[in-house]
């Protein structure tokens, strides 16, 4: 049997799986996709799917922004 060339990085997730990862509703994931905040691909049936690598990238960007927000909160405000 031939070995699959699809790696873990090429795996696709449903919107429910992505919603569980982010801790939001599936509708929120759909809204993010419509706004271009989360990259998607479409199946032949028209359903959205999300690449694992894209979701990991969005999570990393979100963590970076959270770190920046935390640092900003620790800095004294200038008046």
Residue 78 lies in a domain: no
Has residue 2 been placed in a domain? no
Domain tally for the chain? 1
CATH (domain of 63)? 1.10.1660.10
> Does pLDDT of 6 surpass 60?
no
pLDDT recorded at residue 4: 47
For residue range 34-74, what is the model confidence (pLDDT) as tens digits? 999 999 999 999 999 999 999 999 998 886 564 554 445 44
Give the 3-state secondary structure of 24-75. CCHHHHHHHHHHCCCCCEECCCCCEEEEHHHHHHHHHHHHHHHHHHHHHHHC
Neighbours of 15 (CB within 10 A): 21
pLDDT at site 61:
87
Q: What is the pLDDT of residue 7?
A: 53
Q: Who has greater pLDDT, 27 or 5?
A: 27
How far apart, in whole angstroms, are the C-alpha atoms of residue 3 and residue 10? 15
Domain that holds residue 66: 10-73
CB 24 within 8 A of CB 55: no
pLDDT score of 41:
96
């Amino acid at each position: 049997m031939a070995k699959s060339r699809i790696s873990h990085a090429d795996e696709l997730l449903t919107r429910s799986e992505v919603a569980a990862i982010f801790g939001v509703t599936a509708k929120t994931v759909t809204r993010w996709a419509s706004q271009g905040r989360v990259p998607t691909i479409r199946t032949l049936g028209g359903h959205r799917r999300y690449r694992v690598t894209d979701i990991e990238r969005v999570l990393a960007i979100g963590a970076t922004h959270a770190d920046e927000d935390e640092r900003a909160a620790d800095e004294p405000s200038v008046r």
